[in-house]
Amino acid sequence: MLEAVDVVLDAIMHSDVEPFYPLSQENGLLGIMTISQLHQFCIYTGLVGAAVYYLVEYARKKHNNN
């Protein structure tokens, strides 16, 4: 699953990636957002992921202490 995410993110910014190979050699994802927007997306999703992770860990520790 994570490999697919990596291919999609790479296809947005690299012209030599073929995300739909072998069905198609076209890269329809190229340029759907700017590199700056892609970087912002990665930063924001990373921050959300970290927040969810720490909230789950906090809830787990709190539950185990009761």
Three-state DSSP at 30 gives coil
**Residue-level pLDDT at 66:** 67
Note the pTM of the prediction, 2 decimals.
0.78
Contact call for residues 49 and 43 (beta carbons, < 8 A): no
Longest Cα pair distance anywhere in the chain, in angstroms?
56
Transcribe the chain into DSSP letters: -HHHHHHHHHHHH-TT--TTTTT----TTTTSS-HHHHHHHHHHHHHHHHHHHHHHHHHHHHHHH-
Taking only the tens place, the pLDDT of each residue in 42-66 is 999 999 999 999 999 999 999 988 6
User: How does pLDDT run across 26-45, given as a tens digit for each residue?
Assistant: 999 999 999 999 999 999 99
